[in-house]
């Protein structure tokens, strides 16, 4: 499901899918053009996305414009959301490349249909700028690999994710995420997020 949401003032909020919040100059210029042709205002979200405010009749033009620069409308609802990543190896504190690894996961998983929202975040060091434990699946970089957390969420009933593995290498992340998703799908009642499954059955089932 695409993230296109009607706002209280009648405009449509269209969230651009930006893996780890990274865009090129060309992409940003196109986004700026679409913003100007729309309501003239954009908003950055906590999910590292830019929301273009526009009118309902221009949503298709936004979709087409984004496609011209290799972007698309980001996922919403019962899907795997765009994967959040920190500055990674650009950051002087990094011990893992949280940006590159988040973008690699986004390429594989973002937009996949799920029984409920599924959020993934990757931090390149224990300073944990991406607040990994507040996501369904979170990674925190250490010198020996990533610590992996499951079952976190924000919102009204915040829950901290629990650690299930450590020392996970970047190349092992996609298979591990697939494994966590498969365990989740075989355990959920069809509506639960991972955090609900962890609360009901414990984090051990993901180990």
Which residues of this protein are in contact with ligand SF4, per CB under 6 A?
86-87, 91, 93-94, 98, 123-125, 127-129
Q: Which is nearer to ligand SF4, 52 or 168 (CB)?
A: 168
Name the nearest CA neighbour of 180 among 144, 146, 148, 154. 148
Question: Cβ 96 to ligand SF4, closest distance in Å?
Answer: 8
Question: Cβ 146 to ligand SF4, closest distance in Å?
Answer: 12
CA distances from 157 to 40, 75, 83, 154, 200 (A): 35, 23, 22, 7, 15
Question: Cβ 94 to ligand SF4, closest distance in Å?
Answer: 4
Question: Cβ 110 to ligand SF4, closest distance in Å?
Answer: 20
Q: Which is nearer to ligand SF4, 69 or 91 (CB)?
A: 91
Q: Give 194-200's long-range contacts (Cβ < 8 A, gap of 24+).
A: 194/118, 194/136, 194/137, 194/150, 194/151, 195/136, 195/151, 195/152, 195/153, 195/159, 195/161, 197/151, 198/150, 198/151, 198/159, 198/161, 198/162, 199/151, 199/159
Q: Which is nearer to ligand SF4, 76 or 137 (CB)?
A: 137
Question: Cβ 181 to ligand SF4, closest distance in Å?
Answer: 24
Q: Which is nearer to ligand SF4, 44 or 93 (CB)?
A: 93
Q: Which is nearer to ligand SF4, 139 or 184 (CB)?
A: 139
């Amino acid at each position: 499901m695409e993230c296109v949401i009607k706002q209280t003032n009648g405009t449509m909020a269209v969230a651009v899918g930006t893996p780890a919040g990274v865009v090129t100059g060309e992409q940003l210029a196109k986004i700026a053009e679409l913003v100007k042709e729309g309501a003239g205002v954009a908003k950055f979200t906590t999910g590292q996305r830019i929301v273009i405010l526009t009118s309902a009749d221009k949503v298709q033009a936004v979709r087409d414009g984004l496609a011209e620069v290799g972007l698309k409308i980001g996922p919403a609802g019962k899907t795997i959301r765009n994967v959040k990543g920190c500055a990674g190896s650009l950051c002087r504190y990094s011990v893992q490349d949280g940006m590159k690894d988040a973008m690699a996961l986004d390429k594989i998983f973002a937009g996949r249909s799920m029984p409920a929202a599924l959020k993934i975040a990757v931090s390149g060091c224990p300073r944990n700028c991406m607040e990994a434990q507040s996501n369904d699946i979170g990674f925190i970089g250490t010198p020996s690999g990533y610590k992996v957390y499951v079952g976190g969420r924000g919102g009204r009933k915040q829950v901290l994710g629990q650690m299930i593995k450590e020392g996970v290498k970047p190349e092992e992340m996609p298979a591990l995420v697939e494994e966590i998703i498969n365990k989740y799908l075989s355990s959920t009642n069809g509506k639960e997020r991972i955090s609900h499954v962890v609360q009901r059955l414990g984090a051990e089932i993901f180990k």
